[in-house]
Amino acid sequence: MQRTVVPPGERAKFLERAKARELHYTGAGCQFWLFEEAALAGAFMEFTEARDVDTLKRAHATAPEPPLDPGRIYTQMDLPE
């Protein structure tokens, strides 16, 4: 998960790079999502996930733009019933 604020003049370039990241992660067996904050144009949140930690670690290690903190990986929790 990574948050980025992009100035209006850099939006097109950011979206091109985000597309390259999406292609990388989906090609590495991961999912990639990009959201833009509804009330603040240019404020983006990226999410990547994989079926297991090792797949995500490998994808981060070979990413065209590695995440700022590739060691910070979250795993889904099962909530008590």
Task: Give, for all 81 residues of the chain, the pLDDT tens digit.
Answer: 899 999 999 999 999 999 999 999 999 999 999 999 999 999 999 999 999 999 999 999 999 988 888 888 998 899 999
Domain limits at 61? 17-34+50-66
What is the per-residue pLDDT for 71? 85
What is the per-residue pLDDT for 28? 97
Query: Has residue 4 been placed in a domain?
Result: no
Query: Has residue 26 been placed in a domain?
Result: yes
What is the per-residue pLDDT for 22? 97
Residue that is written with structure tokens 């091109």 in the block: 16
What is the per-residue pLDDT for 66? 85
Query: Has residue 21 been placed in a domain?
Result: yes
What is the per-residue pLDDT for 70? 85
Query: Has residue 55 been placed in a domain?
Result: yes
Q: Answer whether 47's CB lies under 8 Å from 81's CB.
A: no
Q: Answer whether 63's CB lies under 8 Å from 21's CB.
A: yes
User: Structural domain tally of the chain?
Assistant: 1
* Helix, strand or coil, per DSSP, at residue 16: helix
What is the per-residue pLDDT for 68? 86
Query: Has residue 71 been placed in a domain?
Result: no
pTM summary value: 0.88
C-alpha 81/C-alpha 67 separation (Å) is 34
Which residues neighbour 40 within 8 Å (Cβ) at sequence distance 6 or greater?
5
Extract the tokens encoding 29. 């067996």
Query: Has residue 56 been placed in a domain?
Result: yes
Query: Has residue 8 been placed in a domain?
Result: no
Residue that is written with structure tokens 């990639």 in the block: 32
Query: Has residue 29 been placed in a domain?
Result: yes
